[in-house]
Amino acid sequence: MENQYNYLMPIATVLRWFARIISILLIISVTAFVVAEKVNLLKLSENELLLITLFIIGLLAQILALYKEALGGIISLIFLSSFVILSGLYQTYIGILLVGTSLLYVISWLFRKFIIKNVFENNFIESNEEKDQKPFSKIF
C-alpha cells in the first residue's frame, strides 16, 4: 500500500507545480502587457469593464491559488470561465490555457484531498490479506 502512495504523490506534485508555473507566467505576461499599453479605463464600455473585472479577479484568484489551492482554484475557475465564455475566447488556445490552469489547481487539490488522503491513509483499499466478500463495505 505504501508503494501505491509513493507512485501517486509525484503525480499530484507535478500537477500542482505545472499549474503554478503556468499561472506565474500568465500573471507576468498580463502585467507586462498592462504596463506597456497604459489602458485608459474611462474610455471602455460597460461590457469591456465587466470583462476586465472578471479577468482581474480571476488572475488575483490564481495568485491566491499559489497559497490556497482549492479556494483560489475554484474562484479562478469561476471567474476565468465566465471571462472566456463572455469574451468568445472559448475556442482559442488562450481560453484553454486560462481555464486549464484553474482546472489544474482544482484537480491537484482534489487528487491530494480525496484520492491520496482518503483512499490510502484511511485504508479504503484493502490489502490482499484483508479482502472480504463485500469489497465496497468500507466506502459506503
CB 101 within 8 A of CB 62: yes
Residue 41 grid cell: 479605463
Residues in contact with 19: Cβ distance below 8 Å, sequence separation at least 6, in sequence order: 65, 73, 101, 104, 105, 108
CA torsion through residues 15, 18, 24, 30, sign: negative
Range name among 8-12, 84-88, 90-94 with the lowest pLDDT average? 8-12
Domain hosting residue 110, numbered range: 2-34+46-126
Q: Is residue 81 a part of any domain in this protein?
A: yes
Residue 101: count of CB within 10 angstroms of its CB: 25
Report the alpha-carbon distance of residue 12 to residue 60 in Å, rounded: 23
How many domains in the chain?
A: 1
Task: Find the largest Cα–Cα distance for the chain.
Answer: 71
CB 29 within 8 A of CB 97: no
> Phi and psi at residue 49, in whole multiples of 5°?
-65, -40
For residue 108, give Cα distances in angstroms to 9, 61, 70.
Answer: 10, 16, 9
Q: Is residue 116 a part of any domain in this protein?
A: yes
Model confidence pLDDT, tens digit, residues 34-80: 788 777 777 878 888 898 899 999 999 999 999 988 899 999 999 99
Q: Is residue 120 a part of any domain in this protein?
A: yes
Q: Is residue 29 a part of any domain in this protein?
A: yes
Q: Is residue 136 a part of any domain in this protein?
A: no
Q: What is the pLDDT of residue 7?
A: 65
Model confidence pLDDT, tens digit, residues 12-47: 788 889 989 999 998 998 888 878 877 777 787 888
Q: Is residue 140 a part of any domain in this protein?
A: no
Q: Is residue 39 a part of any domain in this protein?
A: no
Q: Is residue 110 a part of any domain in this protein?
A: yes
